[in-house]
Copies of this chain bind each other. A is one copy, B any other.
Amino acid sequence: MEQKIPYKIYLSEDELPKQWYNVRADMKTKPAPLLNPGTGKPVTLEELSQIFCTELAKQELNNDDAYIDIPQEIQNFYKMYRPSPLTRAYFLEKALGTPAKIYYKFEGNNTSGSHKLNSSIAQAYYARQQGLKGVTTETGAGQWGTALAMACSYFGLDCKVFMVKCSYEQKPFRREVMRTYGADVTPSPSDTTEVGRKILEEFPGTSGSLGCAISEAVECAVSHEGYRYVLGSVLSQVLLHQSIIGLESMAACDKYGIKPDIIIGCAGGGSNLGGLISPFMGRKLRGEADYQFIAVEPASCPSLTRGKYAYDFCDTGKVCPLAKMYTLGSGFIPSPNHAGGLRYHGMSSVLSELYHEGLMEARSVEQTAVFAAAQQFARIEGTLPAPESSHAIRVAIDEALKCKETGEEKTILFGLTGTGYFDMTAYQKFNDGVMSDYIPTDEDLAKGFAGLPEVK
């Protein structure tokens, strides 16, 4: 029996999760192992520890432990901005005239503006535990860089962010937020790394790319004593940390007798979606409950819906291990026309395997339809959503409208990963009616697939 559901459900501090959930432990077929690109063999802990903090490398390779304790200091930090509210979208339901019940887990109520902080604080914690001086990373849109800057500031770690040059110039405010938290932000490509200098020589005046920024960040980490590289998505360790989203959501649902029928999340590298669905997927894998899971990706970067399930490089610079995943090829670069994040060529190995097994669906949506949903949501539910999050809103609204047609009272839960305050250039395009859609042709995709590495 359902209780009266408030607009927002906040768990009490005592109800907050004290362990992360590792969905790999409940998967019958584990995600395929990361491979050393040189040897073609599964990477060892020792190899991974050259790039990542040792404890994080262990988490990356851990397919067995279902629950991992959240260190007390991370729990404390989580209390700074968590629990995030599980919100009943009463206003949206009414506006749509749907019998569906819509809930969203809102992760934007912190200065990084997204869920990214859930993992950055964990990664910074383990870096400090290891006695490191600092960490390096890349950032495109800037949410991950901001989240990492905040986490490093908290633990007194040096934070070197390589920010794609065009973003560095077009998003000076994001850059300043990072600097306010003490991060060192370098436009990429830069002359501070060998790979950066090489690219600058080859392509003078280039505005950079995420792939190049990753390569610079990795080089910077391995060439500086006491530094490691950290990454905000794709990796299994990141999904582990992000399981806090799903665990809180599930606790709030259980507390109020809410049983989601459909769970929806946007998917770039998979960190939010993986975090949101993990504990629910665990129940499904254990046969305790059933849910329909929907990953939503942009039609301009359709790794799940049009990609290949194959081993590929995680980065355009080809310095990271190979991962088996749904991918468009590490050379695939989405149209600059595309406004938000979710531009990653691949997808988390964990989610890729779940999708491959048919345990999760995927849909691709076009940009103008996404911004129409974003505007509608902003006006009805108040919060101005990030373009990334709005992919999930689009499909949640579509599903709610289907219920209106069929009369089904489905319960829909979606992840609202963040706010769009730093994405107003894209909103302006939409407001001015000059936003357009882009769908890669089969020929475009073929070029990306041609670059897939051969793995024996």
How distant is A378 from chain B, measured CB to nearest CB, in Å? Answer: 6
**Of B6, B172, B384, which contacts A424 at CB under 8 A?**
B172
Complexed CA–CA distance, A7 and B75 (Å):
12
C-beta contact mask, A167-200 vs B, less than 8 Å → 1, else 0?
0000011001101111000000000000000000
A424 close to B177 (CB less than 8 A): yes
Residue of B nearest to A81 (CB): B382
> Which chain B residues border A172 with CB–CB below 8 Å?
424, 428
Nearest residue in B to A112 (C-beta to C-beta)? B382
Interface residues on A, range: 35 or more
Q: Whole-angstrom distance between the alpha carbons of A102 and B396 in the complex?
A: 41
Determine if A375 is an interface residue (Cβ-Cβ < 8 Å). Answer: yes
Contact A431–B80 (Cβ < 8 Å): no
Interface assignment of A421: CB less than 8 Å from any CB of chain B? yes
A80-B176 Cα distance, complex, nearest whole Å:
30
Interface mask (A392-427 → B, CB under 8 Å = 1, otherwise 0): 000000000000000000000000000101101101
Q: Which partner residue on chain B sits nearest A8 by CB separation?
A: B79
Candidates B13, B91, B179; contact of A80 at CB < 8 Å: B91
In the bound complex, CA of A13 to CA of B3 (Å): 14
| Candidates B153, B179, B384; contact of A111 at CB < 8 Å | B384
CB distance from A102 to the nearest CB of B (A): 14
Chain B residues whose CB sits within 8 angstroms of the CB of A182 once the complex forms: 379
Q: Which residues of B contact A6 (CB under 8 A)?
A: 12-13, 79
The reply to whether the CB of A126 lies closer than 8 angstroms to some CB of chain B is no
Instruction: Give the top 9 A-B pairs by smallest Cβ distance, nearest first.
Output: A173-B424, A7-B79, A176-B424, A111-B384, A153-B379, A6-B13, A176-B428, A80-B382, A10-B10
